[in-house]
Chains A and B, each alone.
Chain A
């Protein structure tokens, strides 16, 4: 479940609180007691992680459903 930052090229996201651009970084994703590490855009200051819609409704949803059926 790796979302390449390039996929969000249309957006130019900055953290409104820290006033810095988001950068790719490691994020821990967990669901139903399973967790794994993924690369996502996040704020280098406060750690705000961005999930684009295509990821939430695509790969992420698939993984959620697979874990629910496990």
Chain B
């Protein structure tokens, strides 16, 4: 992960893009923020937000030409928010006289503003607040002459007075009745240029006399003004307002011109570029995606008395109609992204900081390891940004730097080691064949969950596929890939390849979606097919289905494999299933196993499963053993597709076997196949430590990621060495054992030759009594 890559990812998260109202406003009033505050009844805070941008909030609230409303996305769901009316209400119920608190200018300059209209006064106020000396020349004997022509019902005098008081309370030196002249009877532009550091002309749309030779003019006789910088042909003179945009009066555009001309004047003083970094100035289009259909249609609130505008309560009701506009498409569909309370752009920054921190806690480690890498966020993101890519890249960085917390993936990687060991691995041609035309690779999780199905599917394939069906038991390496352990991933792939090559590089058929993904993405020369599309071609075993209604859940690792989705649905229909959909195959979720999230963060993984199983009351049908078992673990009735093929009792009630049984099932499957298929003399190992584990203890050790085999080793160690404690109160023995890097504790009693386990727990810290 490098800075450029991070900026690329951040740039694709559009949540921080302005909402349409804010983007469209020439000075970017945060109307969304105001509505959010008003919806809570906090008019003072809403007013403060308004006044942060608008120098004359009372006036603008009455006369703004509100281009924001024409951009409001609420228009698609009942009618645009009445932002203008809300601004009026925010002033009515939250107005507070704004104090004049200028900054201390490091380089105080003298500026003259000509014209006390909205653009001139905005420029004057902005520059005065920066601490400069501002003189304002106005031809009339009052300010804001143009506004006095408004209907008093539209712009009451009290409103004008409130904001004019602010001008009088400022440091601006007002020279009223002081028109610009060209005959020596009053101030002339040339004199002003001479006497001041900068000049701003906010003189309305009429052409200005007496500027020949000083300023370039347009064909229409107005001063030529750069629309970005408000510069004229004279480097010290700026102009805007009606002189720039003409006679169609727009109060908010005048404020905009004054504001950004003042910015140019500041830049002139600082010797900075007038044109740089002004992309966000003025009205913008926004990339913010808003799924307006998430929101119910609601028409605008009509004020009871339109002449008076909204009452306090009416304005709250209208403000509550604001969605408010956010993207958050990914956050809404992912309990992981929701859990940490923010959105990808911020997460990406946190993850990058986590990677580059030199000293201190790497606080995002667990967050990085809690992503299931399922790809749903990218699926729903308007910009295809996937947090899985970010998290996997961060994990690689953590592993490379030796910063990956060992406890996050240790258990899953030890399970991987088991699946790579001789206890499970097997690669054979079909008995009676010297070559393999098709290699069945069931995957380690189906073998762990339903070893019987693996044996039956293999027998079926041998019957239906000509020229020899080989079998390979092993792991595709997915856990190593998800843990960013490239060393283990490479080693696992190399083991697969060695056997695959020995068997003649046959096409591979797999029953596991994760294996399918790993082979497709990481072993491009392996011709891999899903068992489900193959079964549709060669046919299911003879038999009938049981008619039943099922809701289908597709595994996330084959999210875009439409042929697989279609095959499974057709095959399920052949076996009597009437299939209902959730959000469709391509918008499926993870079951929590993906990315090893359930090992790094059980809480989040459970939230993900729980949300998924809460989507429908029907029994779920899936075709991934991990998905099925995770649903079952959280109490959902769920079937694996093969349960429809090999009917046995009420398979939806089948419990999650748990991690210990998963390993035992794999070993037992290998021995069974060697005995039954290859006719080898293989005996089941005898167990010296017979355990009795009650269901509640079983569930507890499962959650703590302790295997029954760890418990056996601990008891064996205690019983052979004699090193154990006795709790005289309970009569329980307490034993501990540290085979490698984890100390296991087991509390047990011995009853009729069985070891009854009352409790087990573990820690990683190593302890040693000191003298």
Interface residues of A (CB under 8 A from B): 10-17, 22, 25-32, 37, 40, 42-43, 46-51, 53, 56-57, 60-61, 63-66, 68-70
Contact = CB atoms under 8 A, between A and B. Distances in A.
Nearest to B747: A53
B725 A48 contact: yes
B305 interface: no
B745 A68 contact: no
Contact of A31 (B759, B761, B764): B764
Interface in B360-409: 360-363, 365-366, 405-407
Contacts of B726: 13-16
Given A46-B723, A50-B725, A68-B407, 6 more contacts: A14-B726, A15-B725, A30-B768, A48-B725, A57-B763, A70-B360
B766 interface: yes
A48 B405 contact: no
Contact of A30 (B407, B724, B766, B769): B766
Contacts of A47: 768-769
> What is the interface residue range for chain B against chain A?
20 to 34
B762 interface: yes
Interface string B460-471: 000000000000
Interface of A is mostly: mixed
A10 B729 CA distance: 8
B767 A28 contact: yes
B677 to A, nearest CB: 45
Contacts of B361: 66, 69-70
Contacts of A27: 767-770
B363 A13 contact: no
A12 to B, nearest CB: 4
Contacts of B763: 51, 56-57, 60-61, 64
B36 interface: no
B769 A49 contact: yes
Interface string B573-601: 00000000000000000000000000000
A11 B730 contact: yes
A65 B734 CA distance: 25
B405 A51 contact: no
B734 A60 contact: no
Contacts of B765: 29-31, 60, 63-64
Nearest to B721: A17
Nearest to A38: B767
A67 B67 CA distance: 55
A65 B366 CA distance: 10
A46 B763 CA distance: 21
B70 interface: no
Given A22-B725, A65-B407, A68-B365, A13 B766 contact: no
A32 B766 CA distance: 10
8 contacts: A11-B727, A13-B734, A14-B728, A25-B770, A31-B764, A47-B769, A48-B769, A68-B406
Contacts of B362: 69-70
B733 interface: yes
A22 B769 CA distance: 12
B770 A56 contact: no
A50 B734 contact: yes
Q: Which 5 A-B pairs have the closest CB atoms?
A: A68-B405, A47-B769, A56-B763, A12-B728, A31-B765
A27 B362 CA distance: 28
A51 B742 CA distance: 13
A70 B743 CA distance: 22
A51 B729 contact: no
B722 interface: yes
A61 B767 CA distance: 14
Contact of A69 (B363, B723, B764, B769): B363
B736 A51 contact: yes
A64 B730 contact: no
Contacts of A63: 765
A30 B762 CA distance: 15
A13 B736 CA distance: 14
Contacts of A43: 725
Interface string B187-210: 000000000000000000000000
Contacts of A46: 723
Nearest to B762: A56
Nearest to A47: B769
A4 to B, nearest CB: 16
Contacts of A48: 723, 725, 769
B761 A28 contact: no
Contact of A13 (B405, B723, B725, B769): B725
Nearest to B364: A69
A44 to B, nearest CB: 9
